[in-house]
Amino acid sequence: MQDHHSLLLQSFCSKINLHHFLFQAWLLWREGRALELIDDISFVESQVFRCIHVGLLCVQKLSEDRPTMQSVVVMLSNEGVKLPQPKEPGYFMERSCTEMDISTSEGKFQTHNGLTMSELEAR
């Protein structure tokens, strides 16, 4: 990855919640629309698609399904390597559209969540 691409990715990722991005990536992947994750800029479609594919392999729910870093390097550097289909990401909870407001047209990802925290004390 070139330095300016890394900087763009870091800038983008700092503006959205990673879980929301993962949710959106998984839904678009399942619908065959993974390339909608990126802006309409000049890119090599097969390379971007492969990066998304490998990224989804790296966040699969079960750790034994995730590739090793050595495998990731091989997958990204050799387009001849066949990639397995990714399984559901960890921490992924599918919600209906009424529970989650996602707008890809404006690039904004929003959720409305409630959080309850419990603190346990020993007797």
Q: Is the pLDDT of residue 22 over 50?
A: yes
Residue 12 has pLDDT above 50, yes or no: yes
Binning pLDDT at 50, 70 and 90, where does residue 16 land? low
Determine how many CB atoms are found less than 10 A away from the CB of residue 57.
20
Confidence of residue 103 (pLDDT cuts 50, 70, 90): very low
**Per-residue pLDDT at 96 exceeds 50:** no
Confidence of residue 105 (pLDDT cuts 50, 70, 90): very low
Retrieve residue 72's tokens: 């990731």
Reduced to 3 states (helix: H, G, I; strand: E, B; else coil), residue 116 is: coil
**Amino acid residing at 75:** M
| Mean pLDDT along residues 71-90 | 93
pLDDT number for residue 13: 54
What are the boundaries of each domain within the chain? 3-111
**Mean confidence (pLDDT) of the chain:** 74
Share of the chain above pLDDT 90, in %: 32
pLDDT in the model for residue 3: 46
The helix/strand count (H/E) of the chain reads as 4, 2
